[in-house]
Amino acid sequence: MIQGLVASVMWALVASLLILRRGRADRSITYAAVAIALAMTLNVDPVYLAIDPAVGGTNLVTLAGDGLLMIGLFFLGRGVMKAGEYRPRLVMIAVSLPALLVALACVTTMFFLVDRSDTATTTTFMSDLGGQLSAGLYSITVFSYCGIVVTAMLVLATRQFTLADGVLRVPAALLMGGSSCAIALCVVVLVMDVAHVSGALGVWHAVEPAYGPLMIATFLCLCAGFIAQPAMRPLRQRLRAVRTDALVAQLEPVWREATRLRPGLSESKATAGIFEEPEAVLHRKVVEIRDALIDPRVTFTIAAADHALLVQAERHLLGVKAPNTKSNKTGADDRETGRS
């Protein structure tokens, strides 16, 4: 029941991403959604019971599903990392290809060390065989890797949340919630694995009820977050356009005074501003104000409030959120401020 619901949600995400993210150069999120959707589909009981006997009836589909889940999370982590400039070294290591290949090799090795001779196709693989040390290590490796990747995603999503404003924080907040639930889910599975191997079945039964709700919460939040990201793009563009228009209007008096003392491009081209994009107009006005400020042939000064507005316009054009925002773009912004 839970696996079927999660699989349905994931295929809905795949369909949404194919529509909302068409034309995007990077398809990591789409690849991730397809891989995880396939993994969840293989874990749906009727599908599992139909496929596994066809490949030998030794629960190889369990390995295939877990491998696809790990591959999907790898692409998911890569997609989140590529969405921003913030890429800590530990995060890059966690979502690197070597880390995935090592994890897959360990998982495959542990799987084939499990004694499956007395167990035919079963939809309760870990319940039936989880008491074996090799089976426990198999599951621990799978969910340790998953936990590391979603922790990296949480770090990246938290960074995206701090750099956004207002409603634009919604996708990052959803990803943070989904990543947090995924971490909790991995912890629950690891506790269950250790309890099963050690024979502490009371502990296993105590934490097992949390598995289903956490899995549903994880995939609902992550799917909603990844759908919200491209859906927010038109809103982000609209808010930027509104901000651009406001800055153009606010700089108008200062710009008029600057071009009165030192005529610039606007004076040389009578049609300047008529056919220009709003951001081009704002850029031209910033440049002409800066030119008037640094030209020794004219005496032009502006009030502190107007200078602050000019800096805001420059930062807006550079895509920097605020003067006190510490991001990888800040240094570039500091170098650009005042250049014209």
In Å, what is the CA distance from 106 to each residue of 63, 112, 135, 145? Answer: 12, 10, 12, 11
Query: Considering the domain boundaries, does residue 63 fall inside one?
Result: yes
- Report the SS3 class of residue 224: helix
Does position 196 have pLDDT exceeding 80, yes or no?
yes
> Of the candidates 213, 233, 253, which is a domain's last residue?
233
Same domain assignment for residues 61 and 185: yes
Q: pLDDT tens, 321-334?
A: 654 444 444 333 33
Residue spans of alpha helices (H) in 83-169: 89-94, 97-113, 125-129, 133-163
| 214 and 159 belong to one structural domain | yes
pLDDT exceeds cutoff 90 at 191 = yes
**Residue 13 shares a structural domain with residue 54:** yes
Q: What is the pLDDT of residues 158-189, one digit of tens each?
A: 998 988 888 888 989 999 999 999 999 999 99
Integer-rounded Cα Rg, in Å, for the chain is 27
pLDDT one-digit tens code per residue, 97-152: 999 999 999 999 999 999 988 788 898 899 889 899 999 999 999 999 999 999 99
**Structure tokens of 129?**
């065989």
Q: Is position 240 within any domain? A: no
In a domain? residue 207: yes
Q: 293 and 201 share a domain?
A: no
Determine, yes or no, domain membership for 122: yes
pLDDT at residue number 339: 35
272 falls in which pLDDT band (50, 70, 90)?
low
In a domain, 209, yes or no: yes
How far is C-alpha 52 from the geometric centre of its chain's CA atoms?
34
The rounded distance, in Å, linking the Cα atoms of 175 and 161 is 9
How many domains does the chain fold into? 2
- Domain region containing 10: 2-233
Question: Are 156 and 289 found together in one domain?
Answer: no
Tokens of 244: 């651009």
